[in-house]
Amino acid sequence: MPDVIITGPAGRLEGKYSPGEGEAPPIALILHPHPKGGGHMENPTSLMMYDLFRKRGFATLRFNFRGVGRSQGAFDQGMGELSDAATALDWIQAYNQNAPFCWVAGHSFGAWIGMQLLMRRPEIAGFISVAPPTNMYDFTFLAPCPASGIIIHGGKDVIVPYDDMERTMAKVRSQKGIEITKHLVPEAGHLFRDHLEELERICADYLDMRLPIVRKERPVG
């Protein structure tokens, strides 16, 4: 799990990278919660999702957005952070040029950035979004959503109430054959502090269900 430094749009980006298995592993990019709310790449949910993909043979990268940890720059309301994520994806793709597909996984602010990124990058074949902040940011860019994925939300999330997420995502259209799965964890809050094991199980089960399908749709070569 080597430390990496990526040349980003606002200076260096600090990251952790795990090479994948085989000659053409898929890619996973992990995006952390809001920088102004204490989010960084060592958050428990980011570490958990990183390990999930790493254990499944993905070339996996997590990194700190600009202004977090040793990453240079300053918070940019999401616009610069989206550029950071695109640059990080470019970086991991440069080391995995034969990757058949990519997944993106994010928590809260990171989920918002990840879902914007998948609209811009057709190589993204799936996503995991934990507690997307639908009451703080506009999600109408999902028009239509181009990749299947899962949204996992806490029933006791007082920062982003589940009903708000449900209303927002119910309006999102999907391309033909694309399905957005929603999963409620009734007792969890926004940070999933006491429900990390349940969150991990849900993510793992979804990945193990979806990956065989994605591999058939996007074979190597």
pLDDT, tens digit, for every residue of 9-27? 999 999 999 999 999 999 9
Residue 1 is predicted with a pLDDT of 61
Helix (H) or strand (E) segment spanning residue 53 = helix 44-55
Give residue 207's pLDDT. 98
Q: How far is the C-alpha of 33 from the C-alpha of 53, rounded, in Å?
A: 18
pTM of the predicted structure, to 2 decimals: 0.97
Residue-level pLDDT at 221: 64
CATH number, position 16: 3.40.50.1820
Residue 219, pLDDT score: 87
Per-residue tokens: 173: 């259209």
Number of domains in the chain: 1
pLDDT given at position 72? 98
The pLDDT of residue 33: 98
Tell me which residue range forms the domain holding 181: 3-217
Give one DSSP letter per residue of 134-175, joined into a string: TTTS--TT-TTB-SEEEEEEETT-SSS-HHHHHHHHHT--B-
Q: Confirm if 62 and 26 have CB atoms less than 8 A apart.
A: no
How far is the C-alpha of 30 from the C-alpha of 58, rounded, in Å? 12
> 131 near 137, Cβ under 8 Å?
no
Give the pLDDT confidence of 83-117 residue by residue, as tens digits. Answer: 999 999 999 999 999 999 999 999 999 999 999 99
CA distances from 68 to 12, 20, 40, 86 (A): 11, 26, 7, 17
Spatial distance between the Cα atoms of 42 and 33, rounded to a whole number of angstroms: 10
Residues of the chain with pLDDT under 50: none
